[in-house]
């Protein structure tokens, strides 16, 4: 998947799906691209990609309202409903995503009912209370607790096309439904998130569509 915005500060973007059978094949677009929103303050280079940043380009930090720029594997699908689908997490009242840098669970989705979770678990974002998480997918953004480079980055339903996110990629509900149906848990899925000019600069050298 490729998410492109006009520039670093823009919250409006588009998402295009691509497929290929192996690394030697060309990327083939799937369906038409559609509108998404990214962070309400645009994008900033993600932790593992800051070496690409020019001096005037932003870096992603906790609470900055920016989506991380870079290339990221996709994690579990999630939602409110039960499902037997592989790689799916049902959100419960005890499901939290942790954005507290002081927590050992920073940038993790945890179940506070899990006996492995110690007493007084850090209750940050209770995911079941977020109606926009009714259906979604985890973006595996490898953050740094010490540096506070951002946490809990997902694809999920948008509020509308004019409201950016806290750092996620959000879209119309029908589009996220189609997206999670298209994603195959047996195959590797990834998302590239960039401003257009930056994407064009690096796409050939890193093999992007």
pLDDT computed for residue 122 by the predictor: 65
Q: Return the pLDDT at 66.
A: 98
Q: Looking at per-residue confidence, does 102 or 116 come out higher?
A: 102
Rounded average pLDDT over 174-189: 93
> What's the 3-state SS for the chain?
CEEEECCCCCCEEEEEEEECCCCCCCCEEEEEEEEEECECCEEEECHHHHHHCCCCCCECCCCCCCEEEEEEEEEEEEECCCCCCCCEEECCCCEEECCCCCCCCCCCEEECCCCCCCCCCCCCEEHHHCHHHCEEEEECCCCCCCCCCCCCCEEEECCCCCCCECCCEEECHHHHHHHHHHCCCCCCCEEEEEEHHHHHHHHHHHCCC
- Write down the pLDDT at residue 175: 98
Per-residue model confidence as pLDDT tens digits over 105-119 = 899 999 988 887 765
Give me the pLDDT at residue 120, please. Answer: 62
Q: Percent of the chain beyond pLDDT 70?
A: 97
Q: Summarize the confidence of residues 170-187 as an average pLDDT.
A: 94
């Amino acid at each position: 998947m490729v998410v492109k915005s006009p520039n670093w500060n823009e919250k409006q973007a588009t998402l295009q799906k691509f497929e290929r059978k192996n690394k030697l094949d060309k990327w083939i677009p799937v369906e038409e691209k559609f509108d998404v929103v990214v962070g309400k303050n645009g994008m900033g280079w993600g932790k593992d990609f800051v070496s690409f940043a020019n001096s005037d380009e932003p870096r992603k930090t906790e609470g900055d309202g920016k989506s991380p720029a870079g290339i990221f594997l996709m994690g579990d699908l999630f939602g409110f409903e039960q499902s037997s689908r592989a790689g799916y997490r049902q959100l419960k009242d005890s499901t939290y995503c942790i954005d507290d840098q002081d927590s050992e669970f920073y940038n993790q989705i945890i179940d506070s009912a899990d006996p492995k979770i110690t007493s007084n678990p850090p209750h940050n974002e209770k995911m079941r209370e977020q109606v926009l998480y009714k259906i979604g997918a985890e973006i595996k953004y490898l953050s740094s607790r010490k540096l506070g480079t951002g946490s809990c980055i997902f694809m999920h339903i948008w509020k509308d096309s004019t409201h950016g996110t806290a750092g996620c990629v959000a879209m119309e509900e029908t589009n996220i439904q189609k997206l999670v149906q298209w994603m195959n848990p047996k195959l590797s899925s990834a998302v590239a998130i960039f401003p257009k000019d930056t994407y064009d600069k690096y796409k050939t050298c890193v093999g992007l569509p």
